[in-house]
Amino acid sequence: MNNKRPDLPVIVLGAGGHAKVLIDLMLHQPIRIIGITERDNIDHYRPVLGIPVIGSDDTILKYPVSDIQLVNGVGSGANLAGRTRVFDYFKNLGYSFAILIHSSALISEYVEVKEGVQVMAGAIIQAGSLLGCNTIINTRVSVDHDCIIGNNVHLAPGVTLSGGVIVGDGTHIGTGATVIQNIHIGRNSLIGAGAVVVGNVPDNTVVMGVPGRVIKYR
């Protein structure tokens, strides 16, 4: 479940708040950080926790794909499109993304973790679960047994998934939301902060409230 190539140094894409949390995670692990890249206005950015901004995203292209790994520091609110674009762009060029797991996270050895997954402090992932590519499992998230989390998903801080939950690609589940067992949440959906999901959610749907109700379609 750890970084497949811990010997390779990393470059972090993005210099915002999410990148700061990831850099803090890596500074406490044997990971060498070359620097940070940003898309625009690079002169505006100062070092993040002592790690310098080394240029625009194009700077990455100076490094052979075999010599580095990337860390997707682009955060996401309700919209995961920007983070997904960054991941897909560099994957198509042949680059790989590191798996990052905070030292305080508790993850069963029977969890499958795909490329680019980021698991933050205090998260718990139980046996039989799968975490899809480029997915964020944020601070103190609880994922119970046999959950299937798709690609490019964000489980925001404090989310609780009971056993057997399926979350489709590109879905954001907001801070403190709870999903009961065996629920299927479709692709590209949005679950509002604090919602309690007690029924299946179709693709491209916004759900809010207690109990969760469909507010609109995206």
Residue at 187 is within a domain: yes
Q: Give per-residue pLDDT as tens, 22-46.
A: 999 999 999 999 999 988 766 677 8
Q: Give per-residue pLDDT as tens, 57-87.
A: 999 999 999 999 999 999 887 678 999 999 9
Do 174 and 107 lie in one domain? The reply is yes
Do 89 and 106 lie in one domain? The reply is no
Residue at 211 is within a domain: no
Query: Is 145 marked active-site?
Result: yes
Per annotation, catalytic residue among 102, 145, 154, 172 = 145
pLDDT of 4 higher than 70:
no
Query: What mean pLDDT is reported for the chain?
Result: 94
Which of 98, 128, 158 is a domain's end point?
A: 98
Residue at 75 is within a domain: yes
Token look-up 């990831």 returns 22
Residue at 215 is within a domain: no
For 190-194, what is the mean pLDDT? 97
Do 81 and 111 lie in one domain? The reply is no
Task: Return the minimum-mean-pLDDT range out of 47-51, 90-94, 112-116, 171-175.
Answer: 47-51
HSE-up of residue 144 (Cα within 13 Å, Cβ side): 12
Q: What single string gives the DSSP state of each residue in 72-109? A: E----SS--HHHHHHHHHHHHTT--B--EE-TT-EE-T
Q: What is the rounded CA–CA span in Å between residue 212 and residue 194?
A: 9
